[in-house]
Amino acid sequence: MEKKCIAVTGIGGNVGQGVIRNIRHVYPDIRIVGLDIASFNPGNHLCDITYKVPYAYDPTYIETIQSIVDKERIDLIIPSTDYEVYYLSVNSDSINATIAASDAETSKCYLDKYTTFKYHKLHNIAFAKSWSPEEYDFSEEKIIAKPREGRGSRGLLINPDRIDNLPDGYMIQKLLEGKEITTAVYVTKKNALHGIFTMERELTNGTTTKSKVIFEFDNVLMDIASKMISLKGLRGAFNIQSIVTKEGEIVPFEINCRISGTNSIRHNLGFQDVKYTVQEYLYNVQPDSPKPKAGMASRVLMDVIYPDATEESTLNNNAVNHFLY
C-alpha cells in the first residue's frame, strides 16, 4: 500500500515544525513534504523532502503548490501561516489535495483584526474595542496602534503621541492590561465544538517561551468559541488570543484561523489538534476526545548540525547526515 503523504507549509517557523513533530509522533509512516519560502531552514531535517515556494499572495503560488502536489502525490495540506490558510482555501477547487483550512470568507475576515472586531460586534461576540484611525473618538485613556494584518506582535505602538500620521493599514485598539492567555479550539467537520485548551503564556519576540495550562476560564471561552462556530465557516483548528483584565473580564484581541504555535506543547498535555486534523481530513474518522491535563512548558533553542556540508541546496530532507545539539 502506498504511503499517505502530508504537506506542511511554513516549516521555517515553530508552528510548522511543531505540526511535523506531532505527525511523526502519532503516524511515523506518513511521508511528509515540507514547504517554505526559504530553501534552507530549521525545519528541513524533519521532512522527507522540502520545496521552496513563493509567498502565498504571489501569482505563481497556487500553480507551484499544485505541481508539488502532483509530483509528490500529496493527500493533505496543512497550512501553518495565516495567509496560506486563506489562499489555499480560496483556491481549494484547483488543488488535487485536501486542504485543512477554514472557509475562504471566514479566514479572510480573521486576517484583518479590524474586520474581526466589526464581525464580532455584529454578532455580539466579545472582542477588544477597535477603531480605524479616522474613526477614533479619543474615548480611551490608553490605546495601542497596531497593523490590521500581521502577527508576532510586530509594529505595536503603545499610546502613540499622534494617530493622524500612523502608517497605512493601522488600527486603534483599547489597551488591555492583564494576563495574556491563548486558547486552542478544534471544530469538527460537522461544525461541532470538539474541545478547547487554554494556557497562560510569556512571549519573546511574539513567540511563546513559557506556558502553563489553566482551566478556570473554560466556561467563558467555550461560550465565545461556540458563538464563533455557530456562524459557520470555521473548520479544524483555530486560536483565540485574549487578555484577562484585572476585573476578570476575558477579552479576545486576535483570532488565528490555523493550528497555533503551541501545538507541540498541547500535544503532550492532552489536546492533540494536529492528530484530530489528520484523523478527520486524511483518514475520515472521528477525532479522538481531548483529554487536557495540567502542566507547564518552556522552550529552548537547539542547533541542527550538518557535518561536512558545503551547499545549502543539498540539505533538503531528513536523510542528509545531521544531528541535534
Question: According to the model, what pLDDT value does residue 152 have?
Answer: 61
Amino acid 41 reads N
pLDDT digits (tens, 9 = 90+) for 178-210: 999 999 999 999 999 999 999 998 877 667 789
Rounded CA-CA distance 143/128 in Å is 11
CB-CB contact of 272 with 279 (8 Å): no
Nearest to 324 by CA among 310, 312, 307: 307
Amino acid 258 reads R
pLDDT digits (tens, 9 = 90+) for 83-112: 999 999 999 999 999 999 999 999 999 999
pLDDT digits (tens, 9 = 90+) for 239-293: 999 999 999 999 999 999 999 999 999 999 999 999 999 999 999 999 999 999 9
What contacts 239, CB < 8 A, 6 or more positions away? 182, 183, 184, 185, 255, 256, 258, 259, 260
Residue 114 phi/psi, 5-degree rounding, is -75, -40
What contacts 60, CB < 8 A, 6 or more positions away? 54
Question: According to the model, what pLDDT value does residue 229 have?
Answer: 98
Rounded CA-CA distance 320/255 in Å is 38
Question: According to the model, what pLDDT value does residue 1 have?
Answer: 59
153 pLDDT above the threshold of 80: no
pTM of the model: 0.94
pLDDT digits (tens, 9 = 90+) for 208-231: 789 999 999 999 999 999 999 999
Question: According to the model, what pLDDT value does residue 206 have?
Answer: 66
Domains along the chain? Answer: 5-100+302-324 (3.40.50.20), 107-112+176-298 (3.30.470.20), 129-174 (no CATH)
Question: According to the model, what pLDDT value does residue 202 have?
Answer: 84
- Taking residues 132-161, report their average pLDDT: 90
End-to-end CA distance of the chain: 36
- 315: cell is 540539505
SS3 195: strand
CB-CB contact of 168 with 150 (8 Å): no
